[in-house]
Structure 1
Amino acid sequence: MIKSYINVDIILIILLSVHTIYCQDDPLTKLESTIISHGGQVLRITDSQYHAAAILHNRVIQTWPNMLIRPATFDDVSLALSTLSSLNIPIRIMGGRHSYGGYCSHQGIVTDSVLLKGLKIDLQSETVTMEAGVLWNDIYKVLNGSEHIIVGGLCPAVGVVGFTVGGGYNAMYSRSYGYASDNVLNFKMALYNGTIVTASSTINPDLYWALRGGGGGNFGFVLEMTQKIHRINQTNLPNGQYLFLNLTWVNTDIRKALNNWFTFIKEVVDFDTRISFNTIVVITNSGNFLTIWCSFNGPEVEFNSIFDSWLSKDPKPNPYNVVHYAQIDIARELAVPFPVPKREHVLSAMAINITDAMLDVILEFKPNSTHQIDAWTDFVYLHNANKDKNTAFAFPNISFDIAPGVSWLDADFDPLALDMAQTMERKLIDAAASTHSIPGAYLNYIDPYLPNWEKMYYRNNWERLREINTKYDPTWYFRFPQGIPPYFSESNISNINNNNIIVMAILIIILIIQTFYLNQ
């Protein structure tokens, strides 16, 4: 009997030794230790930093990853991709965490760019080079006090990469300087196998074209990009300031106020790209209001002669002031907190114009007071904003992004609130159908419930984008529900790690042997 137990001990020692060897050689263990040794982080749900790191802007679509990998160097991003793709372990790429569809996260492994914070601004060449973990507020703080602005997000907590590769419009600056995607000079990107490539107008120009407006999580992990910055028109104003107005109409004839605005746009603003707007309409059972944020990239002496034809009409806005704001001030004025305090669903309809039938739908979009569901419609005016037509951004002829939204507190009301928003969007698209006024939707407001999303986001660029993804991501490693699939994908991505199978098999054998001898 003693001899038998000695034999069992020997077997156990051998098996445990094999187990230890496999653990030491486990690529995931090596990856984790390498990333940590280079100043990165690996977070799991038991770590104190995990919840703050994993929570998304949109509380309605929240998943909790098994692991957050936060590389601190480009080489470690490359190592993570080559390791995980070779093991057929799927990932998602996380940047600013503002993804409306929640596609930057899933229940597996997430590679988070938050520690890649390199930022270099060159005022002489008027460029900024920024790494993937930079947020727009990081750049606004550095540019504050200069006469330059960058085409970035109105919400300062938005990540620079996700915003830009989705097209990246800014309601206050894009009419003067284009979309963010128009202004990118080059990208540095890690492919699925860890290879790091550059994309510009002369190097990998097909990838450069695709990333400017067709990115949104496709093709690879953007590590860094260089973008143009712009000196504002009226440079004798201190600190890169714009003229900024916050106009409101409360409990008045909103249709008439909007039609006055549309007339001003058609007669004046379409021809003057110094003027930009972001507009919100809220209709309730007890009242309504219209808010229009306006920026003017020109001298104040011209303001009255340009704007009086609009602002002198009835119904007049509430009293307002014309203020001088730098980019950081406008971002602070219009920012949405991260994460949003309420549950939220925001949609998009890219519109060539707004017809009376579409306006009827917008003015009928009301909150559900019984369930405390708020409703609003946002208009972003984008006529002549797309400056570079040779990008993958699919809407060069757009004048408005119409963004219906709802917000609420109680998770039990999720189905009702989502149905409210989706119903409104369908009605809006149906109302526009006869005039073809809505050809698609904005990629950065990506909607997981949107039918025919391939054409709604990418229009005629869909086939070309698939060809490019076949070249750079042939196994469709960077996969998510509304990602661009390559042709003839041979992906066999699985959550199973072969080494883990071996380790589990060893442990099972140990348990079987122990059970057998203990029962003798």
Structure 2
Amino acid sequence: MMDSFIHFYITTIFLSVFFLINTQSDPLSTLESTIISHGGQVLRITDSQYKAAATLHNRAIQTWPELILRPATHDDVLLALSTLSSLRIPTRIMGGRHSYGGYCSHQGIVLDSALLKDLKIDWETETITMDAGVIWDEVYRVLNGTEYVIMGGLCPTVGVVGFTLGGGYNAMYSRSYGFASDNVLKFKVALYNGSVVTASSEINPDLYWALRGGGGGNFGYVLQMTQKIHRINETHMPNGQFTFLNITWINVDIKIALNNWLTFLKEVADNDIRISFNVIVAVNGESNFLMMYCSFNGPSIEIDTVFNLWLLKDPKPTFNSMFNYTQNDISRVLAIPFPVVNREHVLSAMAINITEAMLDVILDFQPNSTADIGSWTELIYLHSATKDKNTAYAFPDISFDIAPGVSWRNPDNDPYAIDMSEKFLQKLIDAAAPTKSIVGAYLNYIDPYLPNWQTMYYRHHWDRLREIQTKWDPTWYFRFPQGIPPYNQQSNAYKLPNKNSMVIISSFIILVWFY
């Protein structure tokens, strides 16, 4: 009896010590406690802040991670990467949560940048340095009231880093100042093993080249980047204002209106980079809708001279309004709510031009009459927009991004809506084939169903990007669908460890040993 009691007493003490040591030495527990102690967050599905943190822009691709880690310091990002990669636990990098493929999330661990918010402007060098968790709205608010703009997204809730890594065009400003990827001077990058490097034109130029248009979750975790800002006082308006026009046609012959616009582009706008357009075409049965948002980066006194000959052609616009807007005003007007109210599927076709055959396909894009689905096509005018040809962004010669989209509410319509939009894209590509007008797809409108995506996103840069991925992420730790694999990719069987089962097994072995 006494021997059994002594055995039980010793076993209890041993197990207590074992559990304490196990808890203290568990690297995941250490990582979580470190992140929390430095002002970060560790969120699970039972936490009150979890749902808001995990919610993605588009309901149609929503996934719910097992764990969200939100470091508040760069050092804790490095610790997270070194810990998770050493344990062979996969993670996804989350920024603004706008990934059209949902690749910023998965059912495992997500490393979220939301608390990394440092933002510094150097007015002397006309640059801004932004942490990974900054969104464009925060940048625009800081610049608002100044004479400066930055190459950021029209939608203000998009993350600055993810936008830039995919190239990052702005329909209202890129013709004047290039893409976001053209304007980045330096990246601070955390690698898979927790080390940190700088990438610029002089330091690690291969990584610098790849991140500007070929990033999108590849190569490493961008902690911070420095980007140029641009003074726009040539408009002769106060506080960094542009002339912003809303030109709309309703229930007219849209094909004629679009051809008039395309003629205006060839005769005037192609040679005047002060003019930019974002165009929305919607056709639904007997009704149609054509809206053009236009910015003019020049003196308002020239507006009539530049635009009147085009706008006086028949069919004349149903509405034609003009405003003096800052970048903050424009992003507010064009913003898409986060998250979107409906489910969405948005695609991309990078086009050198728009032919009559392509126009016919665009004007025939509409769901069948029984489907509760809305459809539209966005035409982003980008002729002569990219200034720096030495980046991984593969489309300096395109004039348009043709972006069809569908929107619906009922999840039962998912298969039809996606199939409808994918078939439209193929019809558009087929219509463009004789003239080879479509040359790829925009990485920031990433499409999980896109065939031949390696060439469509990266064109002739694919092999070079794989070489760079092999150098900087040889184990392919930053892995996701449509990610760039290294040449020597390893078949890593990543698995989240089950801490409880390990403790139970260990405890059983100890009990057997003592008894």
Superposition pairs of residues 309-320 of structure 1, within 5 angstroms: 309-320=309-320
Q: Which residue of 1 aligns with 2:292?
A: 292
Cα–Cα, structure 1 residues 123 and 12, in superposed 2: closer, same or farther, change >3 Å? same
Q: Which residue of 1 aligns with 2:223?
A: 223
Cα–Cα, structure 1 residues 462 and 7, in superposed 2: closer, same or farther, change >3 Å? same
In 2, Cα distance between the equivalents of 1:374 and 1:230?
A: 37
Specify the SS of the correspondent of 1:394: coil
Q: Which residue of 2 aligns with 1:119?
A: 119
CA-to-aligned-CA distance 1:414-457 (integer Å, 9 cap, x gap): 11111111111111111111211111100000000001111110
In the alignment, does 2:455 pair up with 1:452?
no
Say whether the 8 Å CA contact 1:89–1:493 is kept in structure 2: no
In 1, Cα distance between the equivalents of 2:387 and 2:73?
A: 34
* Aligned-pair CA distance for 1:491: 5.0
In 2, Cα distance between the equivalents of 1:191 and 1:174?
A: 30
Q: Which residue of 2 aligns with 1:156?
A: 156
In 1, Cα distance between the equivalents of 2:226 and 2:418?
A: 38
| Uncovered stretches (5+) of structure 2, i.e. residues with no partner | none
Superposition pairs of residues 28-67 of structure 1, within 5 angstroms: 28-67=28-67
Say whether the 8 Å CA contact 1:87–1:498 is kept in structure 2: no
CA-to-aligned-CA distance 1:150-209 (integer Å, 9 cap, x gap): 010000000000000100000000000000000000000100001111000000000000
Say whether the 8 Å CA contact 1:187–1:200 is kept in structure 2: yes
In the alignment, does 2:170 pair up with 1:170?
yes
Q: Which residue of 1 aligns with 2:110?
A: 110
Q: Which residue of 1 aligns with 2:187?
A: 187
TM-score for the superposition, normalised by structure 2: 0.97
Q: Which residue of 1 aligns with 2:241?
A: 241
* Aligned-pair CA distance for 1:320: 1.8
In 2, Cα distance between the equivalents of 1:153 and 1:354?
A: 24
In the alignment, does 2:328 pair up with 1:328?
yes
Superposition pairs of residues 66-105 of structure 1, within 5 angstroms: 66-105=66-105
In 1, Cα distance between the equivalents of 2:398 and 2:511?
A: 66
Say whether the 8 Å CA contact 2:235–2:297 is kept in structure 1: no
CA-to-aligned-CA distance 1:334-377 (integer Å, 9 cap, x gap): 11000000000000000011111111111110134423100100
In 2, Cα distance between the equivalents of 1:53 and 1:485?
A: 29
Say whether the 8 Å CA contact 1:71–1:116 is kept in structure 2: yes
Say whether the 8 Å CA contact 1:477–1:491 is kept in structure 2: no
* Moved beyond 3 Å, runs of 4+: 1-6, 8-13, 496-502, 507-514
In 2, Cα distance between the equivalents of 1:323 and 1:333?
A: 11
Say whether the 8 Å CA contact 1:443–1:457 is kept in structure 2: yes
In 2, Cα distance between the equivalents of 1:2 and 1:379?
A: 85
Q: Which amino acid aligns with 1:357?
A: A
Q: Which residue of 1 aligns with 2:403?
A: 403
CA-to-aligned-CA distance 1:11-47 (integer Å, 9 cap, x gap): 3542443233122100111111111111111101000
In 1, Cα distance between the equivalents of 2:233 and 2:278?
A: 20
Say whether the 8 Å CA contact 2:246–2:319 is kept in structure 1: no
CA-to-aligned-CA distance 1:224-265 (integer Å, 9 cap, x gap): 000000011525311100001011100000000000000000
* Aligned-pair CA distance for 1:504: 4.2
In 1, Cα distance between the equivalents of 2:60 and 2:460?
A: 31
Specify the SS of the correspondent of 1:60: helix
Specify the SS of the correspondent of 2:11: helix
In the alignment, does 2:504 pair up with 1:468?
no
Cα–Cα, structure 1 residues 319 and 481, in superposed 2: closer, same or farther, change >3 Å? closer
Specify the SS of the correspondent of 2:440: coil
CA-to-aligned-CA distance 1:271-298 (integer Å, 9 cap, x gap): 0000000000000113001000000000
Specify the SS of the correspondent of 2:128: strand
Percent pairwise identity: 69
Q: Which amino acid aligns with 2:476?
A: W
Q: Which residue of 1 aligns with 2:422?
A: 422
* Aligned-pair CA distance for 1:506: 1.4
Specify the SS of the correspondent of 2:320: coil
Specify the SS of the correspondent of 1:434: helix
* Aligned-pair CA distance for 1:323: 1.2
Specify the SS of the correspondent of 1:261: helix
Q: Which residue of 1 aligns with 2:277?
A: 277
Q: Which residue of 2 aligns with 1:412?
A: 412
The number of equivalent residue pairs is 515
Say whether the 8 Å CA contact 2:243–2:295 is kept in structure 1: yes
Cα–Cα, structure 1 residues 445 and 507, in superposed 2: closer, same or farther, change >3 Å? farther
In 2, Cα distance between the equivalents of 1:507 and 1:364?
A: 67
Specify the SS of the correspondent of 2:324: strand
In the alignment, does 2:370 pair up with 1:367?
no
Q: Which amino acid aligns with 1:137?
A: D
Q: Which amino acid aligns with 2:78?
A: S
TM-score for the superposition, normalised by structure 1: 0.96
In 1, Cα distance between the equivalents of 2:396 and 2:503?
A: 55
Specify the SS of the correspondent of 2:360: helix
Q: Which residue of 1 aligns with 2:376?
A: 376
Q: Which amino acid aligns with 1:180?
A: A
Say whether the 8 Å CA contact 1:126–1:230 is kept in structure 2: yes
Q: Which amino acid aligns with 2:40?
A: G
| Uncovered stretches (5+) of structure 1, i.e. residues with no partner | none
Q: Which amino acid aligns with 1:280?
A: I
Superposition pairs of residues 330-369 of structure 1, within 5 angstroms: 330-369=330-369
In 2, Cα distance between the equivalents of 1:299 and 1:502?
A: 70
Q: Which residue of 2 aligns with 1:503?
A: 503
Cα–Cα, structure 1 residues 292 and 512, in superposed 2: closer, same or farther, change >3 Å? farther
Superposition pairs of residues 478-489 of structure 1, within 5 angstroms: 478-489=478-489
* Aligned-pair CA distance for 1:508: 4.8
Q: Which residue of 2 aligns with 1:436?
A: 436
In 2, Cα distance between the equivalents of 1:313 and 1:452?
A: 42
Specify the SS of the correspondent of 1:223: strand
In 2, Cα distance between the equivalents of 1:352 and 1:235?
A: 29
In 1, Cα distance between the equivalents of 2:319 and 2:291?
A: 12
Q: Which residue of 2 aligns with 1:391?
A: 391
Deviation larger for 11-20 or 33-42: 11-20
Say whether the 8 Å CA contact 1:234–1:297 is kept in structure 2: yes
